[in-house]
Chain A
């Protein structure tokens, strides 16, 4: 097996050990949910994830370890989601919904492209220090909730789950240029929220 860190867990899964399944779900369900969300939307995502788990158990004997367990799980999730969609495949929505604190838009720059309103230095410069404020955590959740399903999923898969851009493209069947656009706009909205909080101390 090319992914040694998976093989110990896999052996326990094959043996039907409950704790191993607990570990599997706890580690990967977040990413699976993001994939399902992007493809079928919030209404059907939970059901797709449930179905995907059943498919995972059904196919466990066939897992060859040619990919990582994570990639395998996410591929099953994407396939389950796509099967569910069948013919009524949704169009890729590149619509950019407004974030609660805006973005870094044209109004921040002068006509010659220089900063008009440049970012100020922030009071905190570590993630831990920033996240000690409960209000900021809630505020970020609000911003993440304002993203479209596809955009939120792309952001989560990239930033939290550490997927490569081409993995995201393959799973969600979105072109690389679209993934880059979605990701960039999402990041700017998150940036605007942090900046707003740093400057005003409130959400």
Chain B
């Protein structure tokens, strides 16, 4: 039987679909019985979503770079 500590160690592989069948079954069996680990996995997924939505720093000199690249492209044609 998988321990909570082992489940946490496998958690990223679970999120990334990297578990082999046997491990996947062991993880599922553990989660079915363990509220605390279910909560942990839910919070890991939430952390992923937070990272995805974290606003990114604006690109400096975006317009200047775009103008330069477009100019270079036109010179090439």
Contact = CB atoms under 8 A, between A and B. Distances in A.
Interface of A: 13-14, 16-22, 24-26, 29-30, 53-54, 56-58, 60-61, 104, 106, 109, 112-115, 118-119, 121-122, 125-128, 130-131, 137, 140-141, 155, 158-160, 165, 180, 183-184, 187-188, 190-191, 194-195
B interface: dominant SS: helix
Contact of A183 (B16, B42, B59): B16
A117 B37 CA distance: 12
A30 B73 CA distance: 22
B2 to A, nearest CB: 8
Contact of A190 (B5, B51, B53): B51
Contacts, number: 134
| Residue of B9, B36, B50 ringed by the most chain A CB atoms within 10 A | B50
B5 A127 contact: no
Nearest to B61: A25
B57 to A, nearest CB: 9
B74 A155 contact: no
| Residue of B8, B9, B53 ringed by the most chain A CB atoms within 10 A | B8
B67 interface: yes
Nearest to A192: B47
B3 A112 contact: yes
Contacts of A191: 43-44, 47
Interface of B: 3-6, 8-9, 11-13, 15-16, 18, 36-37, 39-40, 42-44, 46-56, 59, 62-63, 65-67, 69-74, 76-77
Given A16-B74, A18-B66, A22-B63, A195 B12 contact: no
A183 to B, nearest CB: 6
A118 B36 contact: yes
13 contacts: A16-B70, A25-B62, A25-B65, A30-B56, A30-B59, A56-B69, A58-B76, A113-B5, A127-B52, A184-B11, A187-B15, A190-B47, A195-B43
B63 to A, nearest CB: 7
A64 to B, nearest CB: 18
| Residue of B9, B42, B65, B67 ringed by the most chain A CB atoms within 10 A | B65
